[in-house]
Amino acid sequence: MNFELTEERQMLQDTLRRFLSDKYDVPTRNAILESDTGMSADLWAQLAELGILGALFSEDDGGFGGAGFDIAVVFEELGRAGVVEPILETCILGGGLIASMGNETQKGLLESIIGGETRLALAHGEPRSRYDLSRIETTYADGKLTGHKAMSLGAPNADHVIISARESGTIYDKEGISLFLVPVSQLEMQATPVMGGGTAADIYLNGVTVTEDMRLGAAGDAFPHLETVFAAAITATCAQTLGGMEGATRLTVEYLQTRKQFGKAIGTFQALQHRLSDMLIELEQARSAVIGAAGYLDADTRLRDRYASAAKNLMGRAGRMIAEEAIQMHGGIAMTQEYELAHLTKRIIMADHMFGDTDHHLERFIALSAA
Amino acid sequence: MDLNYSQEDLDFQSEVRTFMKEKLPQHLADRVRGGAEFTKDDVEEWHAILSDNGWLAQNWPKEFGGAEWNAVQRHIFEEEAALASAPRIVPFGLSMLAPVLQKFGSKEQCDHWLPRILNGDDWWCQGYSEPGAGSDLASLKTRAVLDGDHYVVNGQKTWTTLAQHANMIFCLVRTNTEVKNQEGISFLLIDMDTPGIEVRPIVLLDGGAEVNEVWFTDVKVPVANLIGEQDKGWTYAKYLLTHERTNIAGVGFSNAGLQAVKRMAKSEMSGGKPLIENPHFAARIAQVEIDLMAMSLSNLRIVSQAAKGGAPGLEASMLKVKGTIIRQEINDLARRAAGSYALPFASEALEGSNEPSFGPEGAGPVAAQYFNNRKLSIFGGSNEVQREIIAKTTLGRMQ
C-alpha cells in the first residue's frame, strides 16, 4: 500500500493550486457568478493551456491521465477554490462518453475539448426520473427525439449536448437506451443559474430531428457506458466537495482563532473546540471516501459502484455537517454572499442534488451489497 | 392532565379559523405557499386587516388598544395562521418595542408612539447587533453623547432586518464608558430620516437582501427619545428579549413547512412510486414529525405555565434550540424532496416573479430557504448562547 501521490500528480496538484490561488480569487469568482454566462471563457482557455483538461483523459484519448486519482486531484483543487466552470460536464460526462462510445470521427472532438475549444453537456435526467439512471421516457423514433430533460448541467454553455433516449423497452429497462450528440443550436432550452454557481437547463425535445451520424455507439447500448461516466462524475463531485469542505474548515479554524467575544477568541470556548474536532474527524472520513472512490474507479463494476455510492452517501452526510457547523460557528458573517464560506457551503450542499443524493446512494449501496 | 383545549379555547380557535377563511386575501396566502418574500405593501395590507379586527396588537393590554390575548390564545392564533398560510406579523414595533414602551416609557411616549404602531404609521427596525457585538451584545460600541437637549450618535449597527422599509429604529447605544459594559447602555428611538444615517443592504447567501448595515455619523437625537433612564438600557433590552421569545418555538412555521414537504413528496416520483412512499424518505419525515409533536406539547406546557403568570426562563431557551433545529431539518427535507429541481438559483422566486419556474410546485425556493434559515440558530441569541443559559441555570441550581 502507498498513499502518496505520484510525482506527476503531485506536480499537477501544485500547479493547479498555485494557478487558482493567483487567478481565481474571491472577487474574480464573484464577478464570474454575476456575469451573464456564469463562466469565464478566458479562464477556460488558460485551464486548457495548463493541461488541466488533458489530465482528465487517457493517453489513448489524447490526454495524459484520466485515472481515478487524476480526477480526484484536479477536482479537489477546483473545489477548494470554488471553481464554477463546467469542467465536469464537459470532460467527465461529455468527453467521457465520447471517449468510451464514439467512432473515429466523433473522437475527433476530444482534441478540441482538451484544447479548450469545445464544451459539452449531458442531458439524461428527466422530471420524473429523480436519480434513477435507467428511467428514460424520452424516445428516439423515425429520426426524431421526443421528451423532456431536467436540469441538464452545463447545457447553456455547451456547444453540443449528448441526449439519452429510449429506442426499445419500457421506461425502467437498462437495455434500449441510446445517446445522440446534438449541436446546441437545434435544442430548445430553458436555462437557469444554479445555486452555488454554474448553469443548468431543462430541454424540451419536440420531435428534434437527429441524423445517424449523431448517434454514439450502437443502438440501445448506452447504459453501461452511462454507469461508467456516472461513477467518474461521482468521484469528481466527491473530490470537489472534499476541496470545499477543506476550505470551509480552514476558514472556520481561522475565524475561531481571530473572532473575539466576551473578551477572548471564541476558539477558547470548549464547546466550540469539540465541534471543530468533530468537523476535522469528518473531514478525514471524507478524504478516505474520495480515495476509495478514486482508487476503485477502474475496478470491476460492482466494486467500483459500491465505493462510488459509499462515497456519495458519506459526502452527503459529512458535507452537510461541515457546511452547517462552519456557518453556525461563524455566525452572521457566514450568511453574507460576499464571504468566501457562503460560496463553499452552497457548493457542498448543492452537490447532494447531483448524480444521486445521500438517500439514493444509501439505497443503491444496499442493493449492490445484496447482489 | 388534559391535552384538550377548554371550550373557551375551542370557541376562540373556530373564531380564528373563520376569520382566516373570510379575511385572509388569497393572493397573500398564495405568496406564502409559494415561498415568496413579502413586500412592504403585503405586510401593511395584512397588518391593516388584523388591526381592523382588533387582532394586530395581540399581546398588548386593552388600555393601549391591544387584544390582551393570553399565551394559549396567541398560540392558537399562530397555529391557525400558519395552517391558513397567513403572512407573519412583522414584530419589531408590535411585540418588541411596544412592551418596552408600555413598561418603561413615559405617558407622552406611549401616547405618541403606540397609536402610530397600531395604525401602521411607523415601520420600526431593531438596532442591536454590531460587527464586534453579536453573541456578546453588551460589548456594543455605538456611542451617544449628551449635548444639551439632544444626543449625538456615532457608530454602526448590523444585521438590521428590513431597515430598508423602516422610518424608525430603536437602538442600544453606549452612553457611559466608565462602568461595566451592561451598565453604560441606553435605549434610544431614532428617526431614520435624520441626517447622518446611512442604510447599506447586505446581500445574503441566498441572494436576498433582508438585512442591512445602519451607519450613524453625528446623528442628533432629541433627549425626549430616550426610554426610561440613561444607562439603564440593558434592563429594557433584556425585558424586550423575553417578549421576542413568545413565538420562539416556531411550531406554526414547522407545521406549515412539514405539510409543504409532504405535498411535494406526494407529487415527486421515486422508483415509480410517490417519494412519500419511499421508506427512507418516509422515515425522515416521520422522524421530524415525531420530534415536532413532542415539541408542540412542550411548547403548550410552557405556554400554559406562562398563561398562569409564570415567566419561562431556561424553558424558553430549550424551545429556541429545539424549535430551530426542527425548522432547519424541515428545510433540509424540502430541498431533498425537490431532487435535482432544488438546483436553480432563482432569487426572483422569493419575490414572486412571473418567470416560469422549474420542477414540482413549491420547488423553486427550497434551496434558498434552506440556506436562509441557517440564520434561525444564529439570531435572537444564538443556540450556543441558549445552551449556555440552560447549563448555567441548571448548574447554578445545583450549588
Q: What is the pLDDT of residue B350?
A: 45
Rounded to a whole number of angstroms, the distance from the CA of B201 to the nearest CA of chain A is 11
Q: Which of B229, B143, B219, B129 is nearest to B178 (CA)?
A: B143
Return the CATH class of domain A120-222.
Answer: mainly beta
| Residue appearing with cell numbers 477548494 | A80
CA dihedral A61, A64, A66, A71 (to 10 degrees): -140
- Facing residue for A193 by CB, picked from B336, B345, B359: B345
**Contacting B residues, span 82-111, partner chain A, CB-CB under 8 Å:** none
Rounded to a whole number of angstroms, the distance from the CA of B127 to the nearest CA of chain A is 15
Let me know: does A150 contact A163? Beta carbons within 8 Å: no
Give residue-wise pLDDT tens across range B192-228.
999 999 999 999 988 888 999 999 999 999 999 999 9
DSSP 8-state code for residue B130:
B
Return the CATH class of domain A7-114.
Answer: mainly alpha
Cα nearest neighbour of B208 on chain A:
A337
Cα nearest neighbour of B284 on chain A:
A359
Domain with CATH 1.10.540.10 in chain A: 7-114
**Contacting A residues, span 107-166, partner chain B, CB-CB under 8 Å:** 125, 127-128, 130-132, 135, 150-151
Cα nearest neighbour of A340 on chain B:
B205
Q: What is the pLDDT of residue B74?
A: 86
- Within 10 A of B295 (CB to CB), how many other CB atoms are there? 20
Is the domain defined by B123-231 classed in CATH 2.40.110.10? yes
Is 70 exceeded by the pLDDT of residue B349? no
Query: Is B341 within 8 Å of A151 when comparing Cβ atoms?
Result: yes
Q: What is the pLDDT of residue B250?
A: 87
Query: Is A261 within 8 Å of B139 when comparing Cβ atoms?
Result: yes
Give residue-wise pLDDT tens across range A56-100.
999 999 999 999 999 999 999 999 999 999 999 999 999 999 999
Query: Is B281 within 8 Å of A359 when comparing Cβ atoms?
Result: yes
| Residue appearing with cell numbers 411548547 | B299
Structural domain spans, chain B = 7-89, 123-231, 248-398
Give residue-wise pLDDT tens across range B64-111.
999 999 878 888 898 899 889 999 899 999 989 999 999 999 999 999
Give the pLDDT band (50/70/90) at residue B356: low
**Contacting A residues, span 217-276, partner chain B, CB-CB under 8 Å:** 260-263, 271-272
Query: Is A353 within 8 Å of B343 when comparing Cβ atoms?
Result: yes
Angle of helix A7-23 relative to helix A41-49, nearest 10 degrees? Answer: 150
As a whole number of angstroms, the longest Cα–Cα distance in chain B is: 76
Q: Which of A178, A295, A294, A189 is nearest to A240 (CA)?
A: A294
CATH superfamily for A224-370 is Butyryl-CoA Dehydrogenase, subunit A, domain 3 (1.20.140.10)
Domain with CATH 2.40.110.10 in chain A: 120-222
Query: Is A353 within 8 Å of B332 when comparing Cβ atoms?
Result: no
Query: Is B270 within 8 Å of A337 when comparing Cβ atoms?
Result: no
Q: What is the mean pLDDT of residues B364-393?
A: 92
A342 touches chain B (CB under 8 A): yes
| Residue appearing with cell numbers 450618535 | B153
Taking the alpha carbons of B278, B283, B288, B291 in that order, is the dihedral positive or negative?
positive
Is the domain defined by B248-398 classed in CATH 1.20.140.10? yes
Amino acid residing at A47: L
Give residue-wise pLDDT tens across range B132-178.
998 899 999 999 999 999 999 999 999 999 999 999 999 999 999 99
Let me know: does A172 contact A134? Beta carbons within 8 Å: yes
Cα nearest neighbour of A320 on chain B:
B332
Q: What is the pLDDT of residue B397?
A: 63
Please report the DSSP string for A36-75 in residue order: SSSS-HHHHHHHHHTTTTGGGS-GGGTSS--SHHHHHHHH
Q: What is the mean pLDDT of residues B316-325?
A: 93
pTM as predicted:
0.94
Let me know: does A72 contact A239? Beta carbons within 8 Å: yes
Q: What is the mean pLDDT of residues B294-309?
A: 81
Helix (H, G, I), strand (E, B) or coil at A368: helix
Give residue-wise pLDDT tens across range A221-269.
999 999 999 999 999 999 999 999 999 999 999 999 999 999 999 999 9
Question: B7-89 in CATH: which number?
Answer: 1.10.540.10
Q: What is the mean pLDDT of residues A289-316?
A: 97
Question: What is the bridge-based pairing of β-strands A144-153 and A160-166?
Answer: unpaired
pLDDT mean across residues, chain A: 97
Query: Is A261 within 8 Å of B379 when comparing Cβ atoms?
Result: no
Cα nearest neighbour of A258 on chain B:
B132
DSSP 8-state code for residue B232:
B
- Facing residue for A327 by CB, picked from B336, B340, B374: B374
**Contacting B residues, span 126-165, partner chain A, CB-CB under 8 Å:** 129, 132, 134-136, 139, 158-159
Burial of B8 per CB tally in 10 Å (0-12, 13-18, 19+): exposed
Is 50 exceeded by the pLDDT of residue B335? yes
Query: Is B343 within 8 Å of A125 when comparing Cβ atoms?
Result: no
Lowest mean pLDDT among A91-100, A195-204, B291-300: B291-300
Is 80 exceeded by the pLDDT of residue B273? yes
Q: What is the mean pLDDT of residues B172-188?
A: 96
Give the separation between CA A61 and CA A313, rounded to whole angstroms. Answer: 31
Query: Is A337 within 8 Å of B204 when comparing Cβ atoms?
Result: yes
Q: What is the pLDDT of residue B245?
A: 61
**Chain B partners of A346 at a C-beta cutoff of 8 Å?**
205, 371
Query: Is A193 within 8 Å of B344 when comparing Cβ atoms?
Result: yes
Rounded to a whole number of angstroms, the distance from the CA of B328 to the nearest CA of chain A is 10
